[in-house]
Structure 1
């Protein structure tokens, strides 16, 4: 039986946990500072010793653990977890019935009631992502529960915490029948190659499904498109399928070239008619300005933090400057799709970044529409950081 540690918390914090707050920050109790064993249960108690809620201890960038129940009889057992996963699957029946989409999120951490873990479905394969050693310590029950809740062919995993000095495993296969990668999945009828056993990424970010479809439907026909930080070119594929005259995909990673070619080819698109550049996005901006290149549609979806040989990029510090440079490459009347998955600020702050960038460039704009996480990426209303995705379609007026 996993050890249980009682933590008495300040009266001022009791109400929020009674009302459903799940996050356990480092500051909650001095006891957490000295607690070395991850995975142990944490029973939150009033100063008088009355039970409030139960969580587990697990270090990740968001804190020191997560509450998962306010029932003192509940633990992370296989039966309880199976019901939790079954409930999440029940909420996604629309996606299960969608023959055009075979890749989506099956379970989204605290948004579905258990922080520190996510589960994605790629055809009949599941990808479990562990965000702390604490939740990983409960992996046997979690994996048993997943198999009981949904019949997957194989389970793969990604560890998003450092263990033994490293994040990446040589082999991410966990259970079931090994799969030969890449496999082909569909999203809105668009084909993508994915690999669940080749480093930290899979080939597509599932939370941008609605944004990609909107680009295909409304913003691509007859347009020229610049896809900055393009990864495997998913936005470019959608734009090309939407009738774009030409797409330009730019990413620093060398593997982005063959992977982007593969995504175009999977959808019957002539990749040679597109422009795929392996280079630093900021260097490409300089190149485009020098050659007077402009675009009707610019997609900006940078990583929250990135480091190259010559520069360090941080969304919090550098997004305004990034937008300013993108503005110089956007035609009058053109559209910038500004996106970030950084959880450290909200949509209001993100719109302030946009306002500042346009003001600095003495340009005017109109916000056309905004997007956040799709239905399979629910967030915890009491924990604003879980509402992380912010996408704004901006038209440059002058």
Structure 2
């Protein structure tokens, strides 16, 4: 096994329990896609990691001991992860959730979700992809009830994104339950599945009536899952805005699956900032506005970064928010702490009275590394604005 001597900054992170290896600390590496022994500058053994570049670092610590792959038990990891999710398995109202979440469950670079009786593996780098047969074999021994599985290859490019992995093939489209609400999903078409499972607690608040009797605007709506949850929780009207043309068809499927009348729910294909201007021009206002943008986006005219530009969204939303309206501000940017996200939101709230009614981080099935704040990447605030 290759030995890598780490600097004192990397040593400190490893001893803190941070598993991801930051590229800043590991420059000019001579090896990749292999296990390595980590040692300090003083020669102290720090554990075992694997090296493999992905969008999050250049590798992952997998043990604080020297460890070979032959002795590493994926069966044990999956068995422990399954026990943690027992309440989800027993739930009659939710049939889609995460069953393995990277370093939160002991091995970075892989996550697994279940949708009814089918699993979806996500591979985030070359190394885990190279040992996927070993990982899948272990998973099948712990999850014999899973009928079939698909994989999302998140590092190779468009032509490699999705494939059937083993067992039965799922229908092209089928429905799952979450908080008692029906959503249509698809498992073998690009990296998406039709719903972001990490938001199910936030959608749960809408199902429970947060927007009951209210009008709701859902920006960056993707397949309008927030809107559907709000409608099932009694919202009087929803408008969902997304620039992707396909979002309209996928969104409508969710509404139809729940028997909702589309006369009260509009799906608009438009740039979000253009819709803000349209709504202001037509004197539209909303009781609840949801802002859940991608961390980074680019169109023909401009780029958008949550870390620098989220306050612009909030400012525009304020102009069309009803008196005493609610704003649900959300981001999955791992590089943005909750306090920094709050400060970005509050740039636009200067001069108005507001209260934080609720906050959300990752739900319990998305087990995260408690030693690494960036592992708990989701940050959502429900804010009441007094105008």
User: Aligned match of 1:92 in 85, 92, 95?
Assistant: 85
- 1:326 equivalent in structure 2: 317
- Cα distance in 2 for residues equivalent to 1:132 and 1:146: 19
User: Aligned match of 2:19 in 4, 19, 22?
Assistant: 22
Q: TM-score, normalised by structure 2?
A: 0.96
- 1:5 equivalent in structure 2: 2
Q: TM-score, normalised by structure 1?
A: 0.93
Q: By how many angstroms is 1:314 displaced? A: 1.4
CA contact (8 A) 2:161 2:191 kept: no
Q: Kindly tell me: are residues 14 and 274 of structure 1, through their superposed partners in 2, closer, same or farther at Cα, counting changes over 3 Å?
A: closer
Q: Kindly tell me: are residues 30 and 252 of structure 1, through their superposed partners in 2, closer, same or farther at Cα, counting changes over 3 Å?
A: closer
Count how many residue pairs are aligned between Structure 1 and Structure 2.
386
Q: By how many angstroms is 1:228 displaced? A: 0.5
- Cα distance in 2 for residues equivalent to 1:137 and 1:5: 18
User: Aligned match of 2:46 in 42, 52, 60?
Assistant: 52
CA contact (8 A) 1:112 1:378 kept: yes
Return 5+ residue gaps in structure 1 as ranges.
none
SS at match of 1:63: coil
- Cα distance in 2 for residues equivalent to 1:343 and 1:294: 32
Return 5+ residue gaps in structure 2 as ranges.
none
- 1:172 equivalent in structure 2: 163
- Cα distance in 2 for residues equivalent to 1:335 and 1:13: 42
Q: By how many angstroms is 1:319 displaced? A: 0.4
- Cα distance in 2 for residues equivalent to 1:367 and 1:51: 46
- Cα distance in 2 for residues equivalent to 1:135 and 1:247: 42
Matched, 1:380 2:374: no
Task: Report the RMSD for the aligned CA atoms in angstroms.
Answer: 1.7
Deviates more, 1:55-64 or 1:227-236: 55-64
- 2:384 equivalent in structure 1: 395
- Cα distance in 2 for residues equivalent to 1:51 and 1:214: 47
User: Aligned match of 1:244 in 228, 235, 238?
Assistant: 235
CA contact (8 A) 1:168 1:200 kept: no
User: Aligned match of 1:146 in 129, 132, 139?
Assistant: 139
CA contact (8 A) 2:162 2:188 kept: yes
Deviation sequence 1:28-57 (CA, Å, 0-9, x none): 34452x33x32x001101335443210111
- Cα distance in 2 for residues equivalent to 1:78 and 1:146: 16
- 1:62 equivalent in structure 2: 56
- 1:271 equivalent in structure 2: 262
- 2:106 equivalent in structure 1: 113
Deviation sequence 1:108-128 (CA, Å, 0-9, x none): 101111111110011111101
- Cα distance in 2 for residues equivalent to 1:11 and 1:357: 40
